[in-house]
Chains A and B, each alone.
Chain A
């Protein structure tokens, strides 16, 4: 397939996760919903397909019965989709308690969507000491026993080990493709987003194969003319309108600190006595994230360093409305970037946006500023 064809395939998948869900269901596979840092590897090792549930750009009606207005729209729209039957057929939803909105999401999910079992994943925030690792492991064991109770095949460490290899390879190709896309300005921001987003709706071995095809095809392709390089940061960056505005203004995302993009692929597994312990080590080693306790605020340094390293001239902070962890970091990010000579533009986004004119004005001005 050509680069365009492969990217077209990623787009199809990213734009219609329901079709993927139906495909897997028709093949007799079980589906388990996941988001943030849920232990997908466990689900995968037990023969089910982990599918990302990060909400969608839909109007929130039904979920309003459960949420006050000031809870983030990622959480609210996921519950909305659940109530409307968009996830029908899924066996369970593993919801971590990494932020206050996710905590309440789990509680509301139980009542709002009883047909899809809520499986809590309680992570420690003090994840560096040994007791943090122990607690992480206890959380994973609980997820395993709940999945077994739902009738999934029994867990085996051997199978998990095989799944970790699949995920490790996926991690590797995602980091590789991310860098490669940065050197190909002809790839639009929408296409870049599709590569990341589709990963949530496919078995990782299948995604890996497609990404490898892209890598090979891209290596054959002559890079297009340079655009203005920027870095993005936030929880999500998948709104087609925003991506289109960035494309129209000649801005190219060359790296990101987006939760649904490269933040997923930063940590790797350490060699441990069991595969489950290796999986634990991956979470415990994770850093530079809004949702994970870090008194040194290394996420902020990470953004500055990453932007400088990749030659990004500015940082676009896509602040998810009502995401207080991200909101707490925003002033420090702005300051640190300014100090490092990087321009920052902060745009509030949510999954309820209909009018993008303000975002357009803001992005255009950002472009002018970077062109200085």
Chain B
């Protein structure tokens, strides 16, 4: 039996085809989220890669901010529930998931059998989200995806103390003016995001294994800093961005 999961975010669309609730047959990821053609393209590609058509799908579940706008889904499921399912599928021993996306940060606590036990989301401030990294990257004129590589070259991680994005901006500029090296500064920025989310995470009892998901999880600088803050190893999978879609496909399997 094939089930289909689609995760329509604010900036990307992801799809997963799952066989019998145990095997990922294909996946796809397109830049562009709600209101673009990407959800459609992602769907087409995932089906094509799996070598199946709509008719072969027994159930489809949608998640992400755009989940209510898609008519193809049989179910729509909340993002965090999907993340929990997806993360547990990839890392069966995971108990804590830290998800840092473009707009918000979330921490999910799972019970031993993979059920969601508790969750927290960031407050209104943008400091601990991908948005903070985007703003800083724009100031430094460094592409976000190059931040990780540069952070690794840091000799002495600089301190970005401001939590307010506007203040952090002027702090970064004045550090630049004072001759702080770019890699040190970028490592400092990653550190600052991790610090903010770590204090959110600590509000839930952190039980290992811990894994990270969401777009920002791809940034190794943030992951390393998070390990330091939480004093525990953090698992990461290249499939972290697909957790939502995997979870949706699993949900569809459970319900079909």
Residue numbers of A with Cβ under 8 A of B are 321, 334, 338, 343, 346, 348, 350, 357-358, 361-362, 364-365, 367-369, 372
Contacts and interface: CB of A to CB of B under 8 A. Distances in A.
B116 A358 contact: no
B121 interface: yes
Given A343-B118, A358-B103, A358-B104, A368 B124 contact: no
Contacts of B78: 361, 364-365, 367-368
Contact of B116 (A321, A334, A369): A369
Given A343-B118, A357-B65, A358-B104, A365 B124 contact: no
A368 B80 contact: yes
Contact of A362 (B77, B117, B121): B121
A372 B115 contact: yes
Contacts of A350: 124
A364 B65 CA distance: 12
A361 B203 CA distance: 19
Contacts of B81: 364-365, 368
Nearest to A321: B124
Q: Which of A343, A348, A369, A372 has the most CB of B within 10 A?
A: A369
Contacts of B116: 365, 368-369, 372
A314 B48 CA distance: 44
A275 B109 CA distance: 54
B79 A365 contact: yes
10 contacts: A321-B123, A343-B118, A346-B120, A348-B123, A358-B104, A364-B81, A367-B78, A368-B77, A368-B116, A369-B117
Interface in B108-135: 115-121, 123-124
Contacts of A358: 103-104, 121
Nearest to A352: B124
Contacts of A346: 120
Nearest to B65: A357
Contacts of B118: 338, 343, 369
Sorted from nearest, which 9 A-B pairs have the closest CB atoms?
A: A364-B78, A365-B80, A368-B81, A348-B123, A365-B78, A362-B121, A348-B124, A365-B119, A358-B104
A367 B118 CA distance: 11
Nearest to A363: B78
Query: Could you say which of B115, B121, B123 has the most chain A C-beta atoms within 10 Å of its C-beta?
Result: B121
A361 B80 contact: yes
Contacts of B77: 368
Interface in B95-109: 103-104
Identify which of B77, B78, B115, B117 gathers the most chain A CB atoms within 10 Å of its CB.
Answer: B78
A300 to B, nearest CB: 17
Contacts of A334: 203
Nearest to B10: A357
A362 B106 CA distance: 9
Interface string B154-189: 000000000000000000000000000000000000
Given A343-B118, A372-B115, A361 B124 contact: no
A244 to B, nearest CB: 13
Nearest to A347: B121
